[in-house]
Structure 1
Amino acid sequence: MGFSALLLLCLVALAIHAVAALPTIQAKGSKLFTSDGSQFYIKGVAYQLTNDDPLAQGNQCQLDAALMKTLGANSIRVYHVDPTANHDACMSAFSDAGIYAWIDVDTFSTYILAENPEWNETMYNAYASVIDAFHNYDNVAGFYVGNEVLTTGASSIAAPYVKAAARDMKAYRNSKGYRTIPIGYSAADIADLRPNLQNYLACGSNSSEAVDFYALNAYEWCGQSTFDTSGYQFLQQNASDYNIPIYFSETGCQTPKPRTFDDQAAILGPDMDDTWSGAIIYEWIEETNDYGLISYGPTAAPTATGNGVVAGYTRTGTPTPISPDFDNLSNHWATLTPTGISMSAYSPSASAPSCPAFTSGLWEVSGDVPLPTVGGAYHSVAATSSATTTAVSAAPQSSHAAVSTSSGTSSATTSGDAAAATASSSGGGRAYNQWMALGGGVGGLLGLLLALGIMGGAVWW
Structure 2
Amino acid sequence: MFSKTLAAAGLLASVAISAVNAAAPTITTSGAKFFYSNGTQYYMKGVAYQLTEADPLIDAEQCQRDATVMAQLGANAIRVYHVDPAGDHDGCMSAFADAGIYLLVDLDTFTTAIDATAIDKTTWNQTQFNAFAKVMDAFHSYNNTLGFFVGNEVIALNNQSLAAPYIKAAARDMKAYRNSKGYRSIPIGYSAADIAELRPMLQNYLACGTNSSESIDFFGLNAYEWCGSNNLQTSGYSTLNTYAESYNIPIFFSETGCNTVPPRDFADQSAIFGSSMNDIWSGAIIYEWIEETNDYGLISYGPMVSATATASGVVAGISRQGTPTPVSPDFTNLQNQWKTLTPTGVASSAYSPSLTPPACPSSTAGGWLVDGDVKLPSIGQTLATGTSSVATSTGTATGSAASATATKKSNANGGKEIAGMSAGLLTVMLGFMYWL
TM-score under structure 2 length normalisation = 0.85
- Confirm whether residue 101 of structure 1 aligns to residue 103 of structure 2: yes
Name the counterpart of 1:110.
112
1:355 corresponding residue in structure 2: 360
Please name the residue that 2:157 is paired with: 152
CA deviation string 1:325-360 (max 9, x = no partner): 000000111010111001111111121001110224
Take 2:158 and 2:364, find their aligned partners in 1: how far apart are those partners? 9
Q: Report the Cα offset of residue 361 of structure 1.
A: 5.5
Contact 1:107 1:435 in 2 (8 A): no
User: How far does residue 175 in structure 1 lie from its aligned partner after superposition?
Assistant: 0.5
Q: Is the 8 A contact 1:148 1:421 kept in 2?
A: no
Is residue 2:167 matched to residue 1:165?
no
Q: Is structure 2 residue 147 aligned with structure 1 residue 137?
A: no
Match of 1:66 in 2: 68
After TM superposition, the structure 1 stretch with the greater mean CA deviation from structure 2, 373-382 or 232-241, is 373-382
Aligned to 1:406: none
The match for 1:390 is none
The separation in 1 between residues aligned to 2:348 and 2:391, in whole angstroms, is 41
Of residues 387, 391, 397, the one that matches 1:381 is 391
Whole-angstrom CA distance in 2 between matches of 1:281 and 1:171: 31
Mapped to 2, the partners of 1:180 and 1:24 lie a distance apart of 10
Structure 1 residue runs of 4 or more that deviate by more than 3 Å after TM superposition:
16-20, 377-385, 429-437
Residue 234 of structure 1 corresponds to which residue in structure 2? 239
Partner of 1:77: 79
What is the rounded CA distance, in whole Å, between the counterparts of 2:122 and 2:54 in structure 1?
26
Is the contact made by 1:246 and 1:277 (CA closer than 8 Å) also made in structure 2? yes
Which secondary structure does the structure 1 equivalent of 2:362 belong to?
Answer: coil
The equivalences for 1:350-429 within 5 A come to 350-360=355-365, 362-377=367-382, 381-382=391-392, 422-423=404-405, 429=406
- Match of 2:348, SS state, is coil
Could you tell me which of 311, 315, 324 is aligned with 1:310? 315
| Structure 1 residues 120-176: Cα deviation after superposition (integer angstroms, max 9, x where no partner) | 000000000000000000000000000001122320010000000000000100110
Find 1:198's aligned residue among 199, 203, 208: 203
| Residues 298, 314 of structure 1: 8 Å contact kept | yes
Contact 1:44 1:75 in 2 (8 A): yes
Letter paired with 2:280: T
The amino acid across from 2:331 in the alignment is F
Stretches of structure 1 that go unaligned for 5 or more consecutive residues are: 1-9, 386-410, 414-419, 424-428, 438-461
Question: C-alpha separation between the residues in 2 aligned to 1:384 and 1:158?
Answer: 15
When residues 20 and 382 of structure 1 are mapped into structure 2, their CA distance, relative to the original with a 3 A threshold, is: closer
Structure 1 CA distance, aligned partners of 2:156 and 2:20? 43
CA contact (8 A) 2:375 2:391 kept: no
**1:384–1:95 Cα change, 3 Å:** closer
* Cα separation, partners in 2 of 1:434 and 1:30, compared to 1, 3 Å: farther
* Cα distance change, pair 432–194 in 1 and its aligned pair in 2 (3 A): farther
Structure 1 residue 58: Cα displacement: 0.7
Q: How does 1:183-262 map to 2 (within 5 A)?
A: 183-262=188-267
Task: Kindly state the Cα deviation for residue 377 of structure 1 after the two structures are TM-superposed.
Answer: 4.3
- Post-superposition CA distance 1:386-443 (Å, at most 9, x none): xxxxxxxxxxxxxxxxxxxxxxxxx9x9xxxxxx9613xxxxx435354549xxxxxx
Equivalences for residues 334-349 of structure 1 within 5 A: 334-349=339-354
Identity of aligned residues (%): 62
Where structure 2 has 5 or more consecutive residues not aligned to the other structure, the ranges are 1-11, 415-436
Instruction: Tell me the TM-score normalised to structure 1 length.
Output: 0.81
Letter in 2 for 1:30: A
Question: Structure 1 431/294 Cα, relative in aligned 2: closer, same or farther at 3 Å?
Answer: closer
Q: Distance in 1 between matches of 2:103 and 2:40?
A: 18
Aligned residue for 1:344, secondary structure, equals helix
Alignment partner of 1:430 is 2:412:
no
